[in-house]
């Protein structure tokens, strides 16, 4: 097993680290600003918010397009273009405070975000072995938290001093700058397994597909309705939300490096079983939550649980043929968003009936995921 010191000395790690930091900063900026911007400036209601969030997930559903783009473009080139597109979308968001404007620019930034996610996951699994990948991925996720933490601090201290347009612009510019840098600092690709061209969809990967879809559906309850609960029902301000994002990312920065060690020590099955058992408890707690402090605490716990989602990627790496990784990661992002596109819209409608209904739906997703973990079987050695 390679040590982390050896892993981080590789050019590919530096390349992915810089892009990951920038992408996290840009998306955290959008995520921290959007809900308050939508409520305070654009005047969106719960149903409109759900519709915008559904549009945000649509490019994820269309990530299968990445498979066909890669027929004509190198993966590292698409990675650079994707992160720049994400940054441009974030920069433009604050200049269009209407329902229509939010739909357009949310779609643009989301295309860049999801295409980057597909190529980022693929490059990581291609360049690192099955024992190296958990360490590399968990460290890169720590960089995600660090980038988010840094941008969260900027937003916290600049909120009230700059208006939303300039805050969105500051966040998006980090991704644009990193994308331009990456065009001239591409890692060598010699020695990597040749990747299959075109669509890959295999019966042997059925459990990965199902768990990925359930994960995408459940995540929307957290990213859309848990945040909306805090802002609309418990009246969290932009400063309050910024502090909460800061706390989340500080904990994630400290915790994530240990996730890779845990995967190598106890395996994906045990980690995912524990994760979904706690997720189920959190979703049920949201249903009965009447306290702002409890809601904030559940939000932090919920965020921490997503640290363990990397186990799905490393599980796939262990069961997959090496040549299937690039097309399968794009397929995985698409599958992740099959339910994710519908959940915010349906949840938004349910919210208008009773705000607890989306969390009941999330409990069902968590229970189904917990059941699916019982089917995980890993080869003795890959």
pLDDT by residue (tens digit) across 76-119? Answer: 888 999 999 999 999 999 898 888 888 999 999 999 998 898 88
| Residues near 298 by beta carbon (within 8 Å), at least 6 away in sequence | 226, 282, 285, 286, 289
Rounded to 10°, the helix 46-61/99-127 angle is 40
Most confident of 3-12, 65-74, 81-90, 148-157: 81-90
| pLDDT on residue 19 | 93
Class of domain 4-185+199-375: mainly alpha
Model confidence at 382, in pLDDT bands (50, 70, 90)? very low
Q: How far is it, in rounded angstroms, from Cα 335 to Cα 62?
A: 9
The token pair that represents 171 in the structure block: 């966040």
Three-class DSSP category at 129: coil
Q: What are phi and psi of 324, to 5 degrees?
A: -90, -5
Most confident of 187-196, 202-211, 279-288: 279-288
Per the document, the length of the chain is: 382
The token pair that represents 374 in the structure block: 């019982």
Q: How far is it, in rounded angstroms, from Cα 152 to Cα 33?
A: 10
| pLDDT on residue 189 | 64
| pLDDT on residue 264 | 82
Q: How far is it, in rounded angstroms, from Cα 291 to Cα 230?
A: 10
| pLDDT on residue 380 | 57
Segment 333-355 shows an average pLDDT of 80
| pLDDT on residue 364 | 93
The token pair that represents 305 in the structure block: 């649980």
Buried b (16+ CB within 10 A) or exposed e, 305-314: bbbbbbbbbb
Q: Which of 222, 184, 380, 238 is nearest to 307 (CA)?
A: 222
Per-residue pLDDT reduced to its tens digit, 21-79: 999 899 888 988 888 888 788 777 777 877 887 788 777 777 777 777 777 888 888 89
Per-residue pLDDT reduced to its tens digit, 196-230: 666 677 788 889 889 988 888 888 888 788 888 88
Burial label, 377 (beta-carbon count in 10 A; 0-12, 13-18, 19+): exposed
Buried b (16+ CB within 10 A) or exposed e, 281-293: ebbbbbeebeeee
Match 């719960």 to its residue by tokens.
Answer: 46
Q: How far is it, in rounded angstroms, from Cα 222 to Cα 55?
A: 16
Q: How far is it, in rounded angstroms, from Cα 217 to Cα 78?
A: 26
Model confidence at 188, in pLDDT bands (50, 70, 90)? low
Q: How far is it, in rounded angstroms, from Cα 112 to Cα 102?
A: 16
Q: What are phi and psi of 199, to 5 degrees?
A: -75, 135
Q: Which of 150, 139, 85 is nearest to 112 (CA)?
A: 85
Three-class DSSP category at 162: strand
**Per-residue pLDDT for 381 more than 60?**
no
| pLDDT on residue 197 | 64
Rounded to 10°, the helix 310-319/99-127 angle is 40
| pLDDT on residue 284 | 93
Q: How far is it, in rounded angstroms, from Cα 182 to Cα 18?
A: 9
Q: Which of 104, 116, 92 is nearest to 169 (CA)?
A: 92
- Percent of the chain clearing pLDDT 70 (strictly above): 94
| pLDDT on residue 273 | 93
- Cβ atoms of residues 260 and 136 within 8 Å: yes
Segment 375-381 shows an average pLDDT of 75
Buried b (16+ CB within 10 A) or exposed e, 37-56: bbbeebebebebbbbbbbbb
């Amino acid at each position: 097993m390679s040590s982390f010191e050896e892993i981080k000395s590789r050019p590919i790690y530096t390349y992915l680290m810089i892009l990951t930091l920038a992408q996290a900063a840009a998306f955290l900026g959008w995520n921290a600003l959007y809900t308050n911007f939508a409520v305070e400036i654009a005047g969106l209601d719960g149903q409109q918010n759900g519709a915008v969030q559904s549009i945000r997930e649509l490019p994820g559903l269309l990530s299968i397009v990445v498979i066909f783009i890669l027929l004509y473009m190198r993966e590292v080139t698409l990675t650079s273009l994707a992160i720049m597109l994400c940054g441009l979308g974030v920069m433009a968001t604050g200049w269009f405070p209407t329902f229509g404007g939010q739909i357009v620019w949310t779609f643009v930034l989301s295309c860049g975000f999801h295409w980057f996610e597909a190529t980022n996951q693929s490059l990581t699994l291609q360049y690192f072995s099955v024992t190296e990948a958990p360490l590399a991925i968990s460290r890169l996720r720590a960089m995600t938290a660090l980038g988010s933490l840094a941008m969260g601090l900027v937003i916290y201290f600049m909120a009230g001093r700059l208006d939303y347009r300039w805050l969105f612009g500051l966040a998006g510019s980090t991704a644009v700058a990193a994308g331009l840098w990456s065009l001239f600092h591409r890692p060598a690709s010699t020695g990597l397994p040749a990747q299959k061209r075109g669509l890959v969809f295999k019966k042997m990967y059925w459990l990965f597909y199902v768990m990925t879809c359930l994960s995408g559906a459940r995540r929307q309850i957290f990213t859309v309705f848990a945040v909306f609960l805090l802002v609309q029902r418990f009246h969290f301000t932009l400063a309050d939300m910024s502090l909460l994002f800061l706390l989340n990312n500080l904990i994630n920065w400290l915790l994530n490096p240990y996730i890779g060690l845990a995967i190598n020590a106890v395996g994906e099955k045990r980690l995912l079983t524990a994760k979904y058992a706690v997720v189920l408890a959190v979703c049920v707690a949201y249903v009965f939550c009447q306290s702002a402090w409890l809601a904030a605490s559940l939000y932090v716990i919920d965020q921490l649980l997503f640290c363990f989602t990397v186990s799905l990627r490393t599980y796939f790496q262990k069961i997959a043929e090496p040549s299937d990784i690039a097309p399968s990661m794009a397929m995985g992002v698409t599958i992740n968003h099959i339910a994710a596109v519908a959940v915010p819209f349906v949840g938004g409608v349910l919210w208008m009936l009773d705000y607890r209904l989306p969390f009941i739906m999330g409990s069902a997703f968590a229970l189904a995921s917990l059941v699916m973990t019982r089917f995980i079987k890993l080869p003795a050695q890959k």
